């Protein structure tokens, strides 16, 4: 396991460049002999580095998204290759959705109301208790874990 590396401008530039190229911090840490926790400590202590890192991650996410399109577009007609390409693309999409849910995640909406433009009216009774329980159950299932 790599030990905490010394923060140098050369290492910082290399990491930012490769993050912007779509590489992961863990993979780079193994290759460049630094622990990702060291990087986390550095960005926590240096606001400018944290901003540069976030920008590099945004660019890297776009690179990964472009890679997904390339994987799908260049797949040969062989069914085994199609399945492999589909799996590669699917896992990249899932990672992007976890890393940047606002840009690459699915948006789920829940519309509740009576008639258009009318506020929701809830009275008393067994039906309303069931509605409340159903809504609470739905929200519990959809809550981020």
Note the pLDDT tens digit of each residue in 4-16.
578 889 999 999 9
User: Does residue 41 lie within any of the structural domains?
Assistant: yes
Q: Per-residue pLDDT tens for 28-64?
A: 888 888 888 889 999 999 999 999 999 999 999 999 8
Contacts of 79 (CB under 8 A, 6+ apart): none
CA distance linking residue 89 with residue 97, whole number of Å:
12
Full domain range(s) for residue 46: 9-104
User: Does residue 94 lie within any of the structural domains?
Assistant: yes
User: Does residue 120 lie within any of the structural domains?
Assistant: no
Residue 17 belongs to domain with CATH number = 1.10.10.60
User: Does residue 143 lie within any of the structural domains?
Assistant: no
Considering its fold, how many domains does the chain have in total?
Answer: 1
User: Does residue 20 lie within any of the structural domains?
Assistant: yes
Average pLDDT, the chain: 79
Predicted structure pTM score? 0.61
- Contact indicator for 134, 127 with CB cutoff of 8 Å: no
């Amino acid at each position: 396991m790599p030990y905490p590396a010394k923060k140098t401008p050369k290492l910082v530039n290399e990491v930012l460049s490769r993050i912007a190229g779509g590489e992961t911090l863990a993979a780079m840490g193994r290759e460049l002999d630094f622990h990702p926790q060291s990087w986390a400590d550095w960005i926590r202590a240096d606001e400018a580095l944290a901003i540069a890192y976030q920008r590099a991650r945004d660019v890297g996410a776009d690179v990964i998204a472009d890679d997904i399109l390339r994987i799908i577009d260049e797949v040969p007609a062989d069914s085994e290759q199609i399945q492999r390409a589909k799996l590669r693309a699917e896992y990249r999409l899932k990672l992007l959705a976890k890393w940047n849910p606002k840009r690459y995640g699915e948006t789920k909406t829940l519309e509740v109301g009576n008639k258009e433009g009318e506020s929701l009216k809830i009275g008393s009774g067994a039906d309303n208790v069931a509605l409340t329980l159903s809504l609470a159950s739905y929200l519990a299932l959809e809550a981020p874990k």
